[in-house]
Each structure stands twice: as C-alpha cells, then as structure tokens.
Structure 1
Amino acid sequence: MTSDRLRLGNATLTRVVETQVDNIPFETFPYTPREVWSEQSEFTSSYWTEDGWRIAMQIWVIEVDGLTVLVDTGAGNDKTRPLMAVLDHLQTDFLAVLRRAGFAPDDIDVVVNT
C-alpha cells in the first residue's frame, strides 16, 4: 500500500493507505450528475477516474513535539458492508502496513479514533 509524508509547521503527517478500491460505479452516488465526474479538478485521479470512484481505507500518523499520534476512522477490518462487497468483512494486515510506513505499534503514543 502507499504512504505519503508532508510537513506542517513542526509536525510531520504521514498518510498510510491500508487498502484502496478502484472503479466503484458512479451510480453509487445517483444524485450526482455524470458530467461532474468528467470535470478536471484537484480531485481527479485521487478520488475518481473515467471508470469510477476510488476510495481508500487509510490512517494518518502525526509526529509532533515528541509524540506519535495515530488517527484512525475505525472503518477497517471485519465490518459488515452488504452494499459494498469489496469492503464487506475486509481483512488487511494493518500492522504490516503500519510497519511498511516506518512505524512499529510501540512507536504510537496516542490513538485517536474518529
């Protein structure tokens, strides 16, 4: 999976993608006009392509003032999602993804679940 780092003041933010799903049908959002998806914007290729939506299960790790904070939506593994089969009872190796991004579980001081 991927990770991206950026600096914001004296903090380092790391985006850690646990899993990504491409080509979710535009019809998933039936009230959004089709022409919106074809417009070029800052979100094109990050959130959709010609073939559909792109979503990611991701966390953020914030390193600031000697603390390492993991921000997680809690949307990960084992959730029942009958309307989105590709994420239904998702199983990823979350700790391996975290390690590949450069963090061990013991590195985390605080977990914020949104």
Structure 2
Amino acid sequence: EKINALTSSATITVDCSLAPVHTVTLGVNTEFNITNLGTGQSVTIIITQDAGGTNTASWGTSGSTAVKFAGGTPTLSTAGDAIDIVTIFNTGTNYLGNIAKAYA
C-alpha cells in the first residue's frame, strides 16, 4: 500500500484519495480532518510524538466527518517518540475510529 507523509501543523487534512496509510510526527497539538474517505473504506494514520511528547490530537467535531471512538476521544501516548496508530472506518453514516497506543 502507498504511504503518504503528512507535515505537522495545528490542522492537518488527511486526503484519503492520496493513500490508505498516512504518517506524521507531531510537533504541535493537532486537529485531524478526514476527506475523501468513501463508504466502506478505512484509513490508517501512524502518529509519532516528537522528542518532547505531550502533543494532542482531535478528530473533527461536526457533521458526518466527526470521528467517533469507543469511550470518547482518545488521548495520544505522551512519551517522547511514542507511536500510536489510528484507524478510521466510514460506515456511510459515521466515521468510527480505533487507536492502538504506545508502540515502542
């Protein structure tokens, strides 16, 4: 699968038409906005904290592209260089997210 490298920013648009997998090293707190994710498709985002850690993520907050996670919006791992993997699936009605945390 193709992997698309994203650039750290306060707002990142994840264009799913570019690749099914995206990577980013966060340098700031970030809002992720998902675009072009078709019904029945999923996208994976591999998030690495910078050496300082503590950066946060939010996942769109309105309309059909707001991502719903089991138990509410997750907190990213906060250790320096921690790696988390977020997968988002479009049901056609909702974007459903899952996170695997603290890869070392």
Q: Same fold (TM over 0.5)?
A: no
Pick the structure with more strand per residue.
Answer: 2
* Larger Rg, first or second structure (1 or 2): 1
Pick the structure with more helix per residue.
Answer: 1
TM-score normalized by structure 2?
0.31
Larger RCO: Structure 1 or Structure 2 (Cα < 8 Å, ≥ 6 residues apart)?
1
TM-score normalized by structure 1?
0.29
